[in-house]
Amino acid sequence: MGTSSSVKTIDRLVKVLDCFSPERPTWSLAEISVHLGLPKSTLHRFLASLESHGILRRDPDDRRWRLGYRLVIWGELAARSTGLRHIALPVMRDLVAATGETVVLTIYQGREVVCVGKVETSHSVRLKLDVGTRHPPHAGASSKILMAYLPVEEVQAIIRERGLPQVCTNTITDYDDLMAELARIRELGYAESHEETDVGAWGVATPIYGPQGAVVAAIGVVGPSSRFSGDLRQQYVSLCQQAARQMSVLLSTGARPDERLSPI
């Protein structure tokens, strides 16, 4: 009985934390109650307990709940322990220098694609994509490249659970079209998107492989359509592939970032 209760508590903790996102960083008690279908009295005690541990905090002025500072510490420790972002950042900076565009690092988690790293271009006009941003796996180059290498069973589960909602103008919403796109991505080894997640945005992305040969992340170049042309496509794809190979080798060998392959 105790084990079951502990599991339910952890499940509730994750559901509460998942409410928060870059698009919605604050919630009232009533809003979380409706969103999760939990009684206010039960939820208030739970939130107060999380606040006492620094996991959540309640603003004294507007009384809305926000993520707590302890999560910042945990996030930094998690990033360091995986080694992925530590390895990726120098390579991502090289890629920004080579392309002049923003570079993003993404992973697949909980049937969503999460941005876990970003190095921005110096251009004043750029695509806004914050670390922590989540996207459905069927929309955008960095999402589709990760979806393409998932087991078929997982792809089907995503579609059953989340459907294929239209995020932007050119989001793929037809099942057969998506299956054909994923097959094409596996054949070519890269993904491309135009206005699938944001109006006036384009992107290309390639897979990063872990020590066991499975795709563990994706690296992508994103920017406004006004700076993209067909002539640049293969150039950016090649640079992304080179960066992905560098990171794949580093993940497999355990080398330090300063021991990485020749810069892009």
SS3 state of residue 193:
strand
Residue 91 tokens, joined:
């390579």
Tokens of 230: 């067909």
**Region 8-16 average pLDDT:** 89
Q: In what order do the strands lie in the sheet with 102-109?
A: 134-135, 112-119, 102-109, 215-224, 201-209, 191-194
Three-state helix/strand/coil letters over 114-150:
EEEEEECCCCCCCCCCCCCCEECCCCCHHHHHHHHCC
Domain boundaries, the chain: 2-71, 83-259
Instruction: Please count the other Cβ atoms lying within 10 Å of the Cβ belonging to residue 172.
Output: 20
Mean of the per-residue pLDDT values for the chain?
86
Given this chain, do its domains 2-71 and 83-259 carry the same CATH topology? Answer: no
DSSP structure string for 206-251: EEEE-TTSSEEEEEEEEEEGGG--HHHHHHHHHHHHHHHHHHHHHH
Q: Answer whether residue 30 shows pLDDT above 80.
A: yes
Question: What's the average model confidence in pLDDT over 166-181?
Answer: 95
Residue identified by tokens 């565009």 is 101
Return d(Cα 91, Cα 244) in angstroms, integer. 9
User: What is 83-259's CATH number, 3.30.450.40, 2.170.190.11, 3.40.50.620, 3.20.20.70?
Assistant: 3.30.450.40
Per-residue pLDDT tens digits for 210-254: 877 889 899 999 988 888 877 788 899 999 999 999 999 888 775
Per-residue pLDDT at 149 exceeds 70 = yes
pLDDT, tens digit, for every residue of 41-98?
Answer: 999 999 999 999 989 999 888 999 999 888 877 766 665 555 677 788 899 999 999 9
Give the relative orientation of helices 40-52 and 29-36 as an angle to the nearest 10 degrees: 120
**Residue bearing the bigger pLDDT, 211 or 135:** 135
Task: Quote the CA–CA distance of 60 and 18 in Å, as a whole number.
Answer: 22
CATH architecture of the domain with range 2-71: Orthogonal Bundle (1.10)
